[in-house]
Amino acid sequence: MAPLILRRVLLLVPNLLLLTFVVFAVMTTWLGSPSVLMLGRDATPEAVHDMDARFGFDQPVPVQYGRWIGAALRGDFGRSFTTQQPVAAMVGPAIPVTLELAFGAIVVAAAAAVGVNSLVVGRRVIGPVVTAASVVGVTVPNFMLGAILIYVLAIRLRWLPTTGWSPWGQGVGPHLLHLLMPVLTLCAFYASAFSTVYRAEYRHAERQIFVRAARAKGLTETRVSFRHILPNAVLPLITYAGLSLGQLVGGAVVTETVFSIPGVGRLLVSAVTSYDYPVILAVTLMILVAVAAANLLADLVYARVNPQVRL
């Protein structure tokens, strides 16, 4: 297992450096002068020149990137151009919120896809319902589903709070109540996609010889499904779940905006609208690291479940 982890980490480092360099070059050069974008098109050449000299925008991109990544590795992402606060102080509290939302959605979506499609009782009734729900989950956008849930569960039924966020310090109950609708909104698409992947793998594994041998021994259908078919059908789902985290962060941007959640997605939207590029770069770096870590975790879980990978 240790050589596998080492190989994955050695591959992640150059990928992260390359991706962050591309994002940095796009933000600081290829989209235009950051000074002009921040000062406005009516800014004088003297003001643009002074800001370029102040922040080092007049230097070559590799020099700027080297200085930025060196400071970022020390935890210094600079200061926000709009609020003048340290970027680390702005991004730090938002990271746990987005991680909890993203991993909660992944866990709920995977558990729902595996659990529902592995049931053997009432399969003729559950199958069409799961198929219809999958179509709805894939086609309905996050913002529309979030608005529907707010209207039904919060406004009409008054079961849940409409928007906002309640930290753990204010109690477990309020926190879970504020978390439920965003997680359901975010996991709807992924539960549908996971269900499609798992159902196809389940049918493939069901036709294998070892499943027929298990049935020939007289095992119940429930035991065959959860003990023999599930461990083999879930393997591609593990990889797909790890690869889905990048898309999940994109969905979190919309979900956090709809439900007014103080996460990384909402912070990114605010930074983009004001072209606060230090915040954009810091959030982008955090997202890339999170996606890389999730893919590494998926590889390790896959290797744990499938011994052939470790060999």
pLDDT at 32: 66
How buried is residue 159: exposed, middle or buried, by Cβ count under 10 Å (0-12/13-18/19+)?
A: exposed
Give CA–CA dist 47/38, Å, rounded.
11
Q: Is the pLDDT of residue 177 over 60?
A: yes
Architecture of domain 94-261: Orthogonal Bundle (1.10)
Number of neighbouring beta carbons within 10 Å of residue 243: 14
Mean pLDDT (the chain, rounded)? 81
- Residue listed under structure tokens 């609020």: 83
Domain ranges of the chain: 2-93+262-296, 94-261
Q: What is the mean pLDDT of residues 34-58?
A: 76
Cβ within 8 Å of residue 204, ≥6 positions away: 233
If we measure between CA atoms, which residue out of 286, 259, 257 comes closest to residue 269?
257
Q: Is the pLDDT of residue 24 over 70?
A: yes
Express each pLDDT in 116-174 by its tens digit: 888 877 666 777 777 777 777 777 777 888 888 888 888 888 888 887 788 887 888 88
Express each pLDDT in 188-198 by its tens digit: 878 888 888 88
More confident: 217 or 252: 217
pLDDT at 246: 65
Q: What is the mean pLDDT of residues 207-224?
A: 86
pLDDT at 122: 62
Q: Is the pLDDT of residue 311 over 60?
A: no
pLDDT at 276: 82
Q: What is the mean pLDDT of residues 206-215?
A: 87
At residue 86, φ and ψ (nearest 5 deg) are -60, 135
Start-to-end CA distance of the chain, whole Å, equals: 9
pLDDT at 194: 87
pLDDT at 126: 74
Structure tokens at 77: 């992402």
Give CA–CA dist 286/244, Å, rounded.
16
pLDDT at 1: 63
Candidate from 76-80, 173-177, 292-296 with smallest mean pLDDT: 292-296
Structure tokens at 89: 């102080």
Helix, strand, or coil (residue 252): helix
If we measure between CA atoms, which residue out of 237, 239, 220 comes closest to residue 228?
220
Q: Is the pLDDT of residue 204 over 80?
A: yes
Express each pLDDT in 81-130 by its tens digit: 788 888 888 888 888 888 888 888 888 888 888 888 888 776 667 777 77
What single string gives the DSSP state of each residue in 4-22? HHHHHHHHHHHHHHHHHHH
Cα 183–300–92 angle (5° rounding)? 50
Report yes or no: 181 and 195 within 8 Å, Cβ to Cβ: no
pLDDT band of residue 262 (cuts 50, 70, 90) is confident
Give CA–CA dist 250/185, Å, rounded.
13
pLDDT above 70 covers a percentage of the chain that reads 91
pLDDT at 31: 63
Give the count of alpha carbons within 13 A of 98, CB side only.
29
pLDDT band of residue 52 (cuts 50, 70, 90) is confident
pLDDT above 90 covers a percentage of the chain that reads 0
At residue 225, φ and ψ (nearest 5 deg) are -65, -50
Report yes or no: 241 and 194 within 8 Å, Cβ to Cβ: yes
Report yes or no: 296 and 12 within 8 Å, Cβ to Cβ: yes
pLDDT at 99: 83
pLDDT at 309: 60
Q: What is the CA radius of gyration of the chain?
A: 24
